[in-house]
Amino acid sequence: MQLQDIAMDDLPYKRLAECYEVLESTTKRKEMIEALVSLYKEAPKGIVDKLTYLTQGKLYPDYMGIEIGVGEKLAIKAISMASGRNENQVNELYRKLGDLGSAAEELCRKKAGFTLFRAAQCRDGI
């Protein structure tokens, strides 16, 4: 089974994000284990390996030699385009919060009216 073959309703992304929020918010090993156990119990057997890789910050096992290769600058640019904010604003919030993921979450929550069409116009200098 490929990653793209997994149906969206197999495990709602919201549930995955909730589990990761619990993992991020605690230093207690028992709470982390309980959160992961709960997630694994809800997950269809066919995606447990993918959940494990994602939890390790990977998409595939190491032996496959596949890396995402998204550097910090590219991620900042993507967050900028998705949030409708300029890269300086993304960088400023990133420095303030100390975590790019948290900065992206906050910026996208306050998302400015910016569409993919508008992003293409900006890119093309229109």
CA angle 8/52/100 to nearest 5° reads 80
User: What confidence tier does 112 reach under pLDDT thresholds 50, 70, 90?
Assistant: low
Q: Which residues of 36-68 are buried (b: 16+ CB within 10 A; e: fewer)?
A: beebeeebeeebeebbebeeeeeeeeeeeeeee
Q: What angle do CA 90, 74, 81 make, to 5 degrees?
A: 55
What confidence score (pLDDT) does residue 12 get? 80
Answer yes or no: are the C-beta atoms of 83 and 108 closer than 8 Å. Answer: yes
Please state, for a pLDDT cut of 70, what percent of the chain lies above it.
Answer: 79
Residue 32 has pLDDT above 90, yes or no: yes
Indicate whether 125 pLDDT > 80: no
| pLDDT tens per residue across span 59-84 | 888 888 887 777 888 889 988 988 88
The secondary structure of 44-83 as a DSSP string is: -GGGHHHHHHHHTT-SS-GGG-------HHHHHHHHHHHH
